Amino acid sequence: QIEKGIKEEGGKKGRDYSIVVDRKEAIKLALEKMQKEDTLLIAGKGHEKVQIFKDKVVEFDDRKVVRKLLEEY
């Protein structure tokens, strides 16, 4: 639904947005693309400490992931 809305507003994949299925990789890409004075909003699952997939539950905390990625910079 989000991608559909972006396209309806004239957005082009690869230019205006990317689709990254892996949440950690998506956060990493967003951090890498940030410029000075940018703000990153990580929405939708920030309060959860796990990701639930069809057949498994995986420990995942957005806050911990962001902290660890920022330590690498």
Check: CB of residue 42 under 8 Å from CB of residue 62.
yes
Encode pLDDT of 4-17 as tens digits.
Answer: 999 999 999 988 89
* Measured CA angle at 40 (ends 61, 68), to 5 deg: 40
Domain membership flag for residue 39: yes
Domain membership flag for residue 60: yes
Domain membership flag for residue 12: no
Which domain, by its residues, includes 43? 22-73
Tell me the average pLDDT of the chain. 90
Domain membership flag for residue 69: yes
Domain membership flag for residue 6: no
pTM: 0.76
The total domain count for the chain is 1
Structure token pair of residue 16: 């205006």
Contacts for 3 with CB less than 8 Å, ≥ 6 apart: 13, 17, 19
State residue 66's pLDDT score: 94
Domain membership flag for residue 5: no
Give residue 31's pLDDT band: very low, low, confident or very high (50, 70, 90): very high
What mean pLDDT do residues 50-62 have? Answer: 88
State residue 46's pLDDT score: 67
67 vs 9, 49, 60, CA distance in Å? 33, 14, 13
What mean pLDDT do residues 50-61 have? Answer: 88
Domain membership flag for residue 38: yes
